[in-house]
Amino acid sequence: MSLFKAREWWSTKAGVDEEFDTGCLCVGDIDNRGTGDKIIIGSYHGYLRIYEPHPTKTEDGWTGFQAQDVLCEMQLPLPILQVEAGLFVSGSDSVHLAILHPRKLSVYSLLASSGAVSYGAHYQLKLVYEHNLQRTAFNFCYGPFGGVKGRDFLCVQSMDGTLTVFEQESFSFTRFLPGALLPGPVTYIARTDSFVTVSSSRQVECYKYQVLAVASETKTKEESQNIKTGKRVAVDWTFGLGEEAIQIMMTTFPQTPPSIYILGERNIFVLTEGGKLRMMQKFEFSPSCFLPYTSVSEGSINCLVATHSSSLMVYSDMTLKWAAQLSNIPIQLKVARINNLDGVIVTLDEHGQLSCCYLGTDPAMFTVPSSEVREIDYKKLDQEMKHLQEIIKKDANKYSVMPSLSKSDDDISIHVSVPFNLDEHSRAAEVEIEEEDPIPSITVKIQLKCKIHVNNVRVNINVELPLVASTNTIKFSSLEPGHPGEAMVVFYMKHTMLPTDLKGWATVVYENTTGAPRVLQADIRLPIRLVVKPCFPVKNANFRITIDTNKPPVNLNDLFPDLLGENAGGAGNALGFRYYGLAPVITVLASKTSQRYRLQSDEFEFMWLVLNELVTRLSSYFASHKQVDFKVSYTGDLPLQEYFVIIERHFECRLTDDNLYKLLADRAAQFRAIQRRLLTRFKDKTPAPLINLDTLIDGTYRQLIAMGDAVEQNTQVKHQMAVRLSAATRLLNLLIRLWQDMSEEEAAVLEATLTPDITESISKGWEETVDASITHLLRTSLSKSAKDQTVNPSPLTLLKDTSKLKKHITLLCDRLGRGAHLVPEGSAGEAARHGETARKAKSAIDSTHTDLGVPLGSKFGEKKNRHRHEGGDLGALRVPTDNKLPPLGGSTGDMEIRKHHTRKDIPDLDELGTDSQRHLVNGSELAGM
């Protein structure tokens, strides 16, 4: 066998920069003149072209493409996915053209009118009818569905594998194929009246047309899989391919058995009509398309197979008979009869190169390179493999998957300037907070400097609620070196909500000179006085936290000079703060003689931001005075019981949300059922009584509206509780970090495990995520022994209650208190603090309860928690109204009285005793707990 070159008879390039794919080519006598086949192609750019080649033989060869070879060229408004010619119009024996668009199926006729010049007739397309598709189309097939005579019906397959059948001008039905995920090639078998397709599970599936026609009507794919009454769509037979299918075709040639040809990625399969394998052939090349056609030999079928190496293989059954070299890589093949010339091979590639060729004997210049044959030395290969494995293992920890990029590699640098003072005149707009004083705002300057010219730079501003920014996106069309881009962004508190984080982010997105996307981010640290205002401190509070330091106490007036307000000029041992729009007061007390500071408030989670600000300002104060050995610690009991109360209330909101959605779904199903019954009675020709169906549907509608309002109200409460839970989690993490003197690495692990980021979900929420994270820690780094270590994760499912989560949080704190570490010992910062942490943990454990059933510090605030839990059971439609934030309280007269008596009412910390001897619950003292 020799490798020859296919002889080119006629060719042309269709369009410029257009794209084509399988289905964009078909041949047929579309003008119904009986002069032979015409070539029809459609592109993804919407261009439709019809050709009738008329090459003539000259001394230099064939004349090739001429202008009169184009019968019609038309641009349609939509991309063309597939073109086919058939009997698509009822009452007509003429061939018409069917064109598939993404959302439309159109049928056209080609009309000819006599021309006034020598070039012949003038052709134009006329729309006969069209169907608008409900789903995005992928491909279609046609045939005499149901055994009709002289007509072709259409079957469109959508991107989700749905089949929609049209009986020419009329819509017939839509069916969802069972288990369909992605579409595949589809064809119609007339002898068995069935459709054959290849599913995304890589198996051939056959469906009878009658089975599809009589199946029960469903509105969604999920309903079609869960039909309990009526008929389902059932597959007739299946055959496993094991690879993706490129094309599928049905052959019904005379003197040969009907066969289903399927071209795979590396094989060609031939099946019988019943799904049995007749024969198959494995290729040593990658095929691009194929075309079975009739053979001159009785009982055999020829098949053209095009490859990605620009070769055309001719098979007789599964025997290679001929091979020829092509000038392009075809995506579709056709065999046509053009100008009384039979056997013309029509090829189309993805760039629009259209060629008509035949098999000749001109030798091709392409030669197959000879492969080097050598004996395999297995011992040498084993040694080389071991050497490579050693290199991989040695360098595994040296290199990262992502390239390391330093700041010097960035073409843009971002600078954020946060002023010390707030805006003199507030620029807050559309504020929802009810407050007598104006809500403050601060204007931040963001500056971008570039090293080279950069275009299309976008800056995204993000900040945590209730804080908002005056603009979320800043765009720069271009930046030049030496001319930095600047923008002023105003931040202020807009919503009546507890703030949990004062940090914002400025993210810069641009493309560098190579076209690669780059992202830069800078933090925006906003001052606490943007959300907090000074007020008079209070004497009694429900919750109190005391921290210890190793340095003499600092006057609070020196720590908070910007938040003194009417407390300016005082002794400096007591300050009060209040969030804008919220009533609870956070009081900060400083001891006169000891090295302790105390925070107290009526709400536990409200103390987070103030405590964090106090620790930060204390560290900055002593660092500015060159005292680097300053340390803050927490030696009291962890307030786990107060934290568990907030977890319970957040979880109750989630359970209420789940119950409301279930009830809403039930009432919606009831409403639809009543509607169907009413519609049946209204359609009945014989009047019948409504038997109170109108009253029932009116009551159901009212229930739907009421439950919708309840869902909306509970969603708002759940969001408020999520914010409070986030603040409480941040507060607990800070106390644990101070309690155990954790390093930055351990603090990062703790925050990733007991995360303050609350996810708003019913099935997989914060409780499930944190429980799984803590369980993983308890089974790995915090396990008691190597036998207890396991890394098998459990699936995340909605918890029945929070008892398991609370137990795991208690175990986490208990093992940390016993000297366990969140990171392996020996890492940076662990060896230096190991001895001190162990001694402090031992003393803390000896002075607290060791029973795991009672968490550390669980007695702290127990009475108040029990009071909050009264009436905690939720009804079917009740929303926990006690979850709302407390309203602003206190009149002007009360404030004046408090102003005159507050200083003498604030006790010193030395008068209250230490936390290990005395605990305060709801303002009362319980000694010896």
Residue 727 has pLDDT above 50, yes or no: yes
Measuring CA to CA, which residue among 480, 442, 479 is closest to residue 459?
479
Neighbours of 746 (CB within 10 A): 21
Q: How far apart are CA 552 and CA 839, in angstroms?
A: 23
Neighbours of 79 (CB within 10 A): 15
Q: Which residue has the higher pLDDT, 590 or 568?
A: 590
On whether the CB atoms of residues 795 and 775 are closer than 8 A, the answer is no
Listed range (325-339, 406-420, 525-539) with the worst mean pLDDT: 406-420
Helices 640-683, 693-740: axis angle to 10 degrees equals: 160
Average pLDDT, the chain: 79
Please give the pLDDT value at position 825.
61
Q: Which residue has the higher pLDDT, 50 or 298?
A: 50
Token code pair at residue 627: 């005292």
Query: What is the three-class DSSP state of 903?
Result: helix
On whether the CB atoms of residues 497 and 723 are closer than 8 A, the answer is yes
Q: What is the average pLDDT across 650-669?
A: 88
pLDDT tens digits for range 69-102: 888 999 999 999 999 999 999 888 899 999 999 9
Measuring CA to CA, which residue among 207, 546, 562 is closest to residue 419?
562
Q: How confident is the model at residue 842 (pLDDT cuts 50, 70, 90)?
A: very low
Q: What is residue 259's DSSP assignment?
A: E
Residue 107 has pLDDT above 90, yes or no: yes
Residue 403 has pLDDT above 70, yes or no: no
Residue 598 has pLDDT above 50, yes or no: yes
Give me the sign of the Cα torsion angle 316, 318, 319, 322. positive
Residue 839 has pLDDT above 90, yes or no: no
Residue 173 has pLDDT above 50, yes or no: yes
Q: How confident is the model at residue 119 (pLDDT cuts 50, 70, 90)?
A: low
Token code pair at residue 612: 């964090």
Residue 784 has pLDDT above 80, yes or no: no
Q: Which helix (H) or strand (E) holds 905?
A: helix 892-905
Token code pair at residue 337: 């009869």
Residue 896 has pLDDT above 60, yes or no: no
What type of residue sits at position 369? P
Range among 216-230, 272-286, 828-842 with highest mean pLDDT value: 272-286
Q: How confident is the model at residue 369 (pLDDT cuts 50, 70, 90)?
A: low
Q: What is the average pLDDT across 170-194?
A: 90
Residue 892 has pLDDT above 80, yes or no: no
Please give the pLDDT value at position 909.
42
Please give the pLDDT value at position 790.
54
Q: How far apart are CA 856 and CA 862, in angstroms?
A: 12
**Could you tell me the CA-to-CA distances from 621 to 571, 616, 633 in Å, in that order?**
19, 9, 16
Q: What is residue 36's DSSP assignment?
A: B
Q: How confident is the model at residue 828 (pLDDT cuts 50, 70, 90)?
A: very low
Please give the pLDDT value at position 122.
81
Token code pair at residue 721: 């509780």
Q: What is the average pLDDT across 251-271?
A: 90
**Domain boundaries, given as residue ranges, for the chain:** 412-529, 531-637+886-928, 640-846+856-875
Query: What share of the chain in percent tops pLDDT 70?
Result: 80
pLDDT tens digits for range 479-516: 888 888 888 999 999 888 888 888 888 999 888 777 77
Q: Which residue has the tokens 């971008």?
A: 448
Measuring CA to CA, which residue among 876, 841, 889 is closest to residue 742?
841
Please give the pLDDT value at position 864.
39
pLDDT tens digits for range 40-59: 999 999 999 999 988 877 76
Please give the pLDDT value at position 3.
61
pTM: 0.50
Please give the pLDDT value at position 189.
93
Residue 245 has pLDDT above 80, yes or no: yes
Residue 862 has pLDDT above 90, yes or no: no
Q: What is the average pLDDT across 524-552?
A: 87
CATH 2.60.40.10, applies to 412-529: yes
Name, in order, each residue with C-beta under 8 angstroms of 819's C-beta and a sequence gap of 6 or more: 837, 838, 841, 842
Angle CA 80–163–336, to nearest 5: 45
Q: How confident is the model at residue 582 (pLDDT cuts 50, 70, 90)?
A: confident
Q: What is the average pLDDT across 431-445?
A: 86
Q: How far apart are CA 810 and CA 855, in angstroms?
A: 5
Question: Edge-to-edge strand order for the sheet containing 485-493?
Answer: 412-417, 441-450, 485-493, 467-469
Q: How far apart are CA 849 and CA 556, in angstroms?
A: 35
* Three-state helix/strand/coil letters over 279-335: EEEECCCCEEEEEEEECCCCCCEEEEEEECCCEEEEEECCEEEEEEECCCCEEEEEE
Query: In DSSP terms, which residues pair with 467 in a beta bridge?
Result: 493
Name, in order, each residue with C-beta under 8 angstroms of 859's C-beta and a sequence gap of 6 or more: 641, 919, 921, 929
Q: What is the average pLDDT across 733-743?
A: 87
Residue 731 has pLDDT above 80, yes or no: yes
**In 627-639, which ranges are continuous DSSP H helix?**
none
Query: What is the three-class DSSP state of 245?
Result: strand
First to last CA, the chain: 99
pLDDT tens digits for range 458-470: 999 999 888 999 8
Helices (H) and strands (E) in the chain, counts: 14, 46
Burial class (CB in 10 A: 0-12, 13-18, 19+), 653: buried
Q: What is the average pLDDT across 896-901?
A: 38
Please give the pLDDT value at position 376.
80
Q: How far apart are CA 251 and CA 263, in angstroms?
A: 14
**In 798-847, which ranges are continuous DSSP H helix?**
803-817, 830-846
Domain 531-637+886-928 adopts which CATH fold? TATA-Binding Protein (3.30.310)
Q: How confident is the model at residue 885 (pLDDT cuts 50, 70, 90)?
A: very low
Q: How confident is the model at residue 64 (pLDDT cuts 50, 70, 90)?
A: confident
Alpha-carbon dihedral 525, 526, 529, 531, rounded to 10 degrees: -120
Listed range (3-17, 162-176, 891-905) with the worst mean pLDDT: 891-905
Query: What share of the chain in percent tops pLDDT 90?
Result: 21
Residue 799 has pLDDT above 80, yes or no: no
Question: Cα 878 to chain center, whole Å?
Answer: 33
Listed range (243-247, 777-781, 888-892) with the worst mean pLDDT: 888-892
Q: How far apart are CA 101 and CA 82, in angstroms?
A: 8
Listed range (123-127, 392-396, 533-537, 765-769) with the worst mean pLDDT: 392-396
